[in-house]
Structure 1
Amino acid sequence: MDPHLKSYPLLSYVLSRLPSMSSSKPHSDPPFDLEQPPAPIVDEMPNLSHPKVLASMTQAIFDVAQTRSLLQTLGPRPDHESVDMARYKLAEIDSGLSKSLEELVLSPRPADVDQVEWRANLAQKEQRIRQEAEKEISMYKSILQLDEMHEAYGKLLKQAEERLIKIYEKAGEEEESLEQIEETNPEVVGILEEAQGKGLERVDLCGRKLRFLPEAFGKISGLLSLNLSGNQLEVIPDTLAGLQKLEELNVSSNLLESLPDSIGLLQNLKILDVSGNKLNALPDSICRCWSLIELDVSFNSLLMRSLRFLDAHFNELRGLPDEIGRLTNLEVLNVRCNFSDLTELPESLDKLTNLKELDISNNQINALPDSFGRLDKLTKLNVDQNPLVVPPKEIVDEGVEAVKIFMAERWVDKLAEEERKSMMEVKEVEEAGWLTRSASMLKSYASAVGETVSGYLGSAGLRDLVLDEPR
C-alpha cells in the first residue's frame, strides 16, 4: 500500500472505490494496487454507503488519483543524496553557463566584422551554448521535479483527506447540499458527455454565469485550452491537475480568492490569466509550472511587497511590467544579460524607494527612465554593455551619484518645460479671451459710431456747408 495513505483512512477508502471515466457507479474492485484493504471506516462513518456521498467524494479526489498514477509510472521518490547531487550539478552548470555567456558578451569584435554581423554571430553562439547546457540540465532537473512532485503529493493527500471530511460533515448536516454539488449547467454536462466520446482540445465557457465547475473536468485529458472567464466561480477544483496537456487557462473575471496547489502539476501550461479576481496570494506550487511564459494577475489583491531580492539575469526578458513598482521593499534587482531582448525600463521604477542595487548590464537599454533620479537609496549601479545615451557615458563614469543627479536635473527640467508649456497654454487662452472681448467692444463701438454718423448724414437733408458755399 502507498505508505502515504496509511495516515489517511478516509482517502484510502474512497480511492479504492474510485469510478472509471465511463461509469458513474463505484467499482467493487479497486483500480489501484492497494496491498492492504481499506480500514472498516464505514462502521464509523455510515453515510459513506450513500451513493451521492461517495460520488461527491470520488470527484473531490480525482487529482490524488491522477497524481498517484503518474508517480507510480515515474517511480519512487529520489533519496536525499541524489537530490543534493542534482542541485549541486545544476548550480555548477548554471555557473559555467553564466561564465561562458559573460565571456561571449565581453569578447572583442574583430575590426573587419561590422556590428550587425557581430551581434548575429554572438546570438548564434549564445543559442548553441544554451542548447548544450540545457541537455545537461534536463537530466538533473527531472530528478528535482520528481522529488518536488512527491513532496506536493504528500501535501495533496492531507488536503484531500480534509476535503473528504468536510464533504461528509456537510452531507450529514444538509443532504440538499449534495444535490447542489451535482447540479450542473446543461452546456457543461454536454461538454463532459462529448469528452467521453472523443478528445476535446478546446473548451470555451466564457460568460455562462457558472458558480462551480464539476470535478469531472479534470478527466478531459486531451484538453489544450480552457476559457472560464466572466463567470462566478469562487473555487477551481483540484482535479484540473488531471489536464496534463493544458497549455492555456483563462479564469479571469471571476470571484476566486485562491488557486489550488495542484496547479503546479500543469507542466505544459504556457498561458495563465487570473486577472480580475480576489486573489491575495499565489500558491508556491506555481513555480513548478515549468512551461509558463505568460502570467496575468492584474486587478487582484496580491500582496507581494515583502520581496527584497529579485534575480532575473540570463533570461530572455522583453521588458519589466509597470507593476514592478509595487515591490516597495525591493532592495536588489538583477536583470543583466537579457541581451537583445531587454530594451527599456518602466517609468514605475522610481517607486522602488528602497532599491539599493541595480544591475542592467549586457542589455540593449539606450535610456534610463526620466524619474530614475528619485531612487534615493541606490548605491550600486551597473549599466555596462548597453547602448546608453541617457545619461551619457561621461556621467556614468563618474558613478551612481552623478547618474542620480543628472537624471534628477533632467527630471526637473522636464517638469519645468511642462510647466512652461502649461503656462503658455493658459496665457494663450487668456489672450484669446481678451481679444474676443476687445473685438466685441470694438464692434459695439463701431456700430454705435456708424449709427451716429448715419443719423447725422441723413437728418433733414443737411449737406456740408463748405460744399454749399457759393464760389
Structure 2
Amino acid sequence: MDPNPKNFPILSYVMTRIPSIKRPNHPESDIEQQRMSPRPAFNPEPYFELTERMPHLTDPQVLAAMRSAVADVSQTRSLLKTLGERPDHESVDMAKARLAEIESMMSNQLDEIALSDKVDPEEEKKKKAIEREKQMHKALISLDQMHESYDKMLSDAEKRLEKLYETAKNSRKSIPVVDEGSSVQGSAVDDFKEEVVAILTDALSNGAQRIDLSERRLPFLPEAFGKLHTLVYLNLASNQLEAIPDSVAGLENLEELNVSANILGSLPDSIGCLLKLKILDVSSNKLSSLPDSICQCRSLVEFDAGFNKLTYLPTKIGYELVNLKKLAIPLNKVRNFPTSIGEMKSLQFLDAHFNELRGLPKSIGKLSNLEVLNLSSNFSDLTELPDAIGDLTNLKELDVSNNQLQELPMTFGRLDKLQKLNVDQNPLVIPPKAVVAEGIGAVKVYMAQRWFDLLVEEEEKSRREAEAMAKASWLTRSTSWLAGAVFGAAGTASLYFGAGESEDPYLEEER
C-alpha cells in the first residue's frame, strides 16, 4: 500500500521520514503490499545510493517542503489502511454485474408499485434487504476505485517531488538545460516517416503477408497500417511505441503480433477484432491491465504478457480463450487467477513466476492438459496449494520454489507423470527435507502413502461412527421392547388383581 521504492524512489524516501510511517526493515521490500514481499531479482536502490545521486534530499528545508507536497498521499494511505486492501478484479466485476441486475430489478418493481395501491409488508422487507445488498456492492466498487485513484496519486506525487527537487537544485546552482540530440531526434523522425511510407506503399501494392519493423526505434505506428488486410505476421518488437492505433482492427488476417519491449501503457479495445490471431507477445511493456476485449481473440494459442505491471487478468478470459496452449505472465503483480482459468482446457504451459499470487482457485484442477506449471518466486504471498493440484494428471514439471509453502497438498501423490519438481526456498514440513533430498520419486511415494493413511483413517472413523450408531439404535430398540414388556406385564397384573372393567362397587362406595 505504501509506494514501492523501485517505482517511486523519491516518494518512498520522503514517506519513510514522515513520523507516522516506519522505515522498512529491508530496502528490498516491496511495500505496496501489507505483507513484505522481497524481490531479490529487482533490488531497488538503497536509500544511501539515492541520496548520493540526489544530495539535496538530505536538506531539512527540501525534505520539509517535500513532506508537505505529499500530505495527500499520507492521508489517503492512512484511510486505505483502515478500509482494507484492494479487492480482486473478479470480485469487483461480479459486484458490478450484480449491482446492474439489482438496479434493473428495482426499476421494474417501482413500475409495479406505481400501478398498485397496496403496500405488501413482505415486499418492503425484501426491498430493504436488496437495498442493503446494493450498498454492499457499491462499497466494494468504491473501495476499488479509491485504490485506483491512490495508484495515480502516487505517480503524480513522484512527479511533483521530482520538480521540487529540480527547483531546489537549480536555486543553489544554475545548471544550463541542454536539449540533447534534438536535431538528431528530428532527423530520426524524418527518416522514420520516409521508411514507413516506403514500406506501406510496397506492402499495399504487393499484398504483403509479413512485415518486420523490430529494433527501429519507431515512436509510433501510423493508422494506415490498418489497411494491410493481407498481413499475417507483424513484428514491432524493441521500438518506442507508446500506443497501438485502433486501426489495428483492420488486420483481419493477422495471425502473429509481436509488440514486446516497447513502452505501451495499454492495448486498444480494437485488438479484440483480431479473430485469427494465434500468437500475441506484449511482454516487456508498461501494461497495468488487459482490455476485456482480448477475450474475443478466441484463436489465440500463445499469449505472453510477462514483465509488465498487471495486477489481474480479465474475469472471463478462461471462458473465451479455450484454444490457448501457452500463457506466460511472469514478472507482474497478479494477485489472483480468475475462476474461469479452469476452462482453458487446451492449456499446456502456465508461467506465473515473480508475481504476488496469494493462492490458486480450485478450478485450477480442471486444466487436464497442463504439462508445465511455474509458480516460483511469489514469496510471502503464496502459502498453500489447493488439493485440486492433484487433478493435474498430465503435469510433468512443477516449480513452486521461493514461496512460503509449509506442506504439499495431500493429493500430490496422484501426479503420476510429474518428472521435475522444484520446492527450494520453502519452509516445508510435509514432506520432510530428508524426503525431498531423495528426489521426486521419494516425494511422490511419501505423499501417496500419506494420502492412503488418511483414507484408511477416514474409513476407520466412518466404521466406528457406524458401529456407534448401530449400537445406539440397538439400545433404543431394546429399551423400547423392555418398556413394552413392562407395560404388558403391568396390564396383565392389573387384570389378575381385578383392575379394568371388573370394578368392585364396594371399593367405590363412599364411607
Shorter chain as denominator, the TM-score bin is 0.3 to 0.5
TM-score normalised by the chain length of structure 2 = 0.39
Q: Which protein, 1 or 2, shows the higher relative CO under an 8 Å CA cutoff with sep ≥ 6?
A: 1
TM-score by length of 1: 0.42
